[in-house]
Structure 1
Amino acid sequence: MATNRTFDQICVGDSAEIKRTCSSNDLLVFAHASGNLNPLHLPDIDWTGDGKIDKPVAPSMWVGALVSAVLGNVLPGPGTIYRTQSFNFLDRVTVGDELTVRVEVTDKHSNGNVVLAVSVRRADGELVTDGVAEVTAPTRTIEYDTSKLPGLLVERHRHFNRLIEMAKTQPALPTAVIAPDDPSSLEGAILAAREGLIQPVLIGAADRILAAAKEIGEDISGYELIDIQDEAEAAGRGVSMVHDGRVRAVMKGHLHTDDLLRHVVKKDGGLRTKRRISHVFVMDIPGRNTPVLISDAAINIAPDLATKVDITQNAIDAALSLGLDTPKVGILSAIETVNPAIPSSLDAAILSKMAERNQIKGGIVDGPLAMDNAIDVQAARTKGITSLVAGRAEVLIVPNLESGNMLAKELTFIAHAEAAGLVIGAKVPVMLTSRADDARARLASCALALLYNYWQSNGKPVGLMADLEG
């Protein structure tokens, strides 16, 4: 609820301030609202022409608009009419800068106008803008319920585009595609092949695969096709081709997950390693600075502590392969404190300590964390959590399959995220997409597999996410 101060209530020396952190979404919304499409101010654009994504600079008038927010919301508040302003923009603001915007009353005029000194400073106290604003203050008390303002959703799926471009710099990955006998799974494999990500070997019922190809208008005569009517047998053939060295990845088509995993995890002739296999969802969520990884939401139903150790390590490895340097891992529970009555909070604390003792490597692990304070900095601050991970988690380890599956699908269908999936912990990456996934999700999963395969072989990622961020 915003409440104003009338002209009669305002005194010289009164002051007010707000804090605001500049985000990429702020710049996109401002570009749409103002019509200023100067690429200097837009994220994800190589405006210098050097081949890198350059860090955008906030328009100076966006900074000036923050002054309007103080005047219109706090001092004087609702009912204020802006008259004049004179600002000096002393330094540039970039994404991630936390700003304190302050106004102080310096004079009152008999015509109802109020003069205010303006300052905008970074968190370190450096002054970036100063000046003077003059407004007509309201003469009657006004209250406004700010919750009535409709929200905005900025849909941007930049991360998958970048990961796909990274993957395309590498040779195509020979891949056994199991039972691609419906239009979506076949189209995904063909699209990935066309983009140079995989060399598909199609294994399944030839009549159904050819019918799917005809339905989507694709000629698959240039791809190897192994005719096996039984889906489980087709899965077994794909796994055996890994041992023969003919393929270096496996991709799920239109068959049930259990039919594929049964051959992946079997003791004799499977793809098991010393580590428990787990599934990782990679989510491209609008507004997030990096992809968000969720595990395990597809394989391990109710993992014990030992299994969670492998799940956490697998997820860190996946994050490293995508170019996240020292990924921040939040172990989720219902609360952010240890409670013996909530087993997931105990597991989270143990996993965090194991990471401190180098029993889990490659990432910064903290828990227990609730979902809000794992991904939102302000929520973490409000609850007084001091952590390198809290509010900044890039990897989320869920208590069980049910919670992970619900979280991933909520992000997909409510937060408009794009999702791709990969099984980690086997001898080769396994692309485990849903039968309902579209071709783009399958394309992104192929990119993940190629990047992970490169990381497995070379011990380093194709590129760093920080470099992509500019």
Structure 2
Amino acid sequence: MHDAAPPRTPPSDALPPPHNRTFDELEVGDGASLQRRLTIEDIRLFAVLSGDAEPQAAEDGSGEGDGGVIAHGMWAASLVAALLGTRLPGPGTRYVGQSLRFLAPVRVGDTLTVEVTVAARDPAQRRVRLACRALNQDQAPVFEGEAEVVAPDRRIARSRATLPEVRLHGGTSGTQRLFDHVRPLGAVRMAVVHPCDALSLRAALEARAAGLIEPVLVAPRARLQAAADEAGLDLDGIAIEDVAHSHAAAVRAAELAAAGEVETLMKGSLHTDELLAAVLPAAAGLRTKRRVSHCFLIETPAYPRPFIITDAAINIAPGLEEKADIVRNAIDLAHAIGVDAPRVAILAAVETVNPRMVATLDAAALCKMAERGQIAGGVLDGPLAFDNAVSAAAARIKGIESAVAGRADVLVVPDLESGNMLAKQLEFMGDAVSAGIVLGAKVPIVLTSRADPHEARMAACALAVLLAHRYRNAPP
């Protein structure tokens, strides 16, 4: 059974604006409630705001902990304040006091139902005492107690507002975590195809020095040595396959990969088309049942986790069948980097199906394919515009209820042009770091660009190493 995207609700601006309840309108027994699911982002943000970064490991009473991550107690208590200030009595309420007893921890993933009920009224001071409690998704009590407020004396109606998104940065980068995970796996033999300029040759040698690869340089020896001399690089101890020219280098590298003498390929200073022309023919022995596609693994300060953009380098105008393989390859990469059920957003210019916009029809079909089990391993939704895919606030404004919207792990673009522009905009204007990798062949292929910074080249090599080790046990 594969998850389908949940139905979408009408936009919030179709509902009447919220208003308060004045003291005279309140009666004993009146109540209100809200639900909230705890995420790890909630814990981190509350830690920043409160300065209390410690209570993140749940304990079972023995001091050992049960391995869960729990909320600060006052995070749960703050939901009472939110309920009183927005629903009952609502806008204009002045908080006077609160007394709560905490009965159980709230763990990441728990859903709280917080309830307040009018228990007593004091007309002389317009004070209202309310009973408060919270239950988790198992109906177990989390806290109980009382709150006292001064209720408003006039009606106030406010437009529904969408809070701005807050994203936290800091700690170990995703690139560093990738390096830390990959290094213990051990270096793999990589054919570096025609690295006859300083940039590509240096990248191969630096990846070797970092313990990621054992490079086999496939190129004319004389041109290699000239590039090394010009850049002040030492080729001693490096395996070299001497060939006549770049085309021969691509063919020889494919032969080495098909024979199992190398486990991955990396493009040097030749054109991508020249390398793929040697890899893709059936006679090369590197094809699988999948369409070959390219993935950018991207980390940017503007998004809380690394994500994948595909396909931005190989398939120019993919049809539905090609897009299905593009999605499958991206899901495989997401699994390799530790995302068990990646959220896949199928991008278009709009979030509704329009028969005149092929991208929206393809998106709807891909989601139905996932629902029928033809695409497995991820949760798909689409069509989604870019803002709805990456911004929960944008999705809420448009009334989109989705397991993917605002939290996408994979962005599937309509065509190469849009994907390439999106990835490069993020790199050059969004301070993003990207690592490009080709999947769908029997070995992972690193496609580098002359404009790639050092960190991007190293991250791409690390991805290739991760996939090469994965392919040893589960060939594509």
1:200 aligns with 2:215: yes
Superposed CA offset, 1:56-86 (max 9, x none): 2111111112222223344444554433211
Between 332-341 and 436-445, the greater mean CA deviation after superposition: 332-341
CA distance in 2, matches of 1:123, 1:406: 43
Between 97-106 and 295-304, the greater mean CA deviation after superposition: 97-106
Aligned to 2:48: 32
Q: So what's the TM-score if we normalise by structure 1?
A: 0.76
Superposed CA offset, 1:279-319 (max 9, x none): 12234467988753332121101012332343233333333
Change in 2 beyond 3 A, CA 1:136/1:344 = same
Aligned to 2:135: 121
Query: In structure 2, the residue corresponding to 1:115 is in which secondary structure?
Result: strand
Query: In structure 2, the residue corresponding to 1:168 is in which secondary structure?
Result: helix
By how many angstroms is 1:129 displaced?
1.8
CA distance in 1, matches of 2:164, 2:43: 19
By how many angstroms is 1:237 displaced?
4.9
1:103 aligns with 2:119: no
2:147 aligned residue (123, 133, 138): 133
By how many angstroms is 1:175 displaced?
1.3
CA distance in 2, matches of 1:96, 1:381: 24
Superposed CA offset, 1:143-179 (max 9, x none): 7778697653212676544443332232211112345
Aligned to 1:87: 100
Between 364-373 and 309-318, the greater mean CA deviation after superposition: 364-373
1:311 aligns with 2:326: yes
1:363 aligns with 2:377: yes
Instruction: Write out aligned runs for 1:3-82 (5 A).
Output: 7=23, 10-38=26-54, 40=56, 55-78=68-91, 80-82=93-95
Aligned to 1:399: 414
Between 78-87 and 298-307, the greater mean CA deviation after superposition: 78-87
Superposed CA offset, 1:90-119 (max 9, x none): 211122223233333323333343322222
% identical equivalent positions: 45
Instruction: Write out aligned runs for 1:144-293 (5 A).
Output: 151-155=165-169, 159-178=174-193, 188-202=203-217, 205-212=224-231, 221=236, 223-224=238-239, 234-243=249-258, 245-253=260-268, 256-265=271-280, 269=284, 271-284=286-299, 291-293=306-308
By how many angstroms is 1:354 displaced?
4.9
2:331–2:378 CA contact under 8 A, matched in 1? no
1:315 maps to a residue whose letter is: A
Aligned pairs, number: 448
CA distance in 1, matches of 2:239, 2:64: 44
2:364–2:383 CA contact under 8 A, matched in 1? no
Aligned to 1:426: 441
Tell me, which stretches of 5 or more residues in structure 2 are unaligned? 1-16
1:299 aligned residue (303, 314, 336): 314
Instruction: Write out aligned runs for 1:375-390 (5 A).
Output: 379=395
Between 368-377 and 126-135, the greater mean CA deviation after superposition: 368-377
2:82 maps to a residue whose letter is: A
CA distance in 2, matches of 1:271, 1:407: 30
Change in 2 beyond 3 A, CA 1:102/1:434 = farther
Q: So what's the TM-score if we normalise by structure 2?
A: 0.75
CA distance in 2, matches of 1:35, 1:431: 43
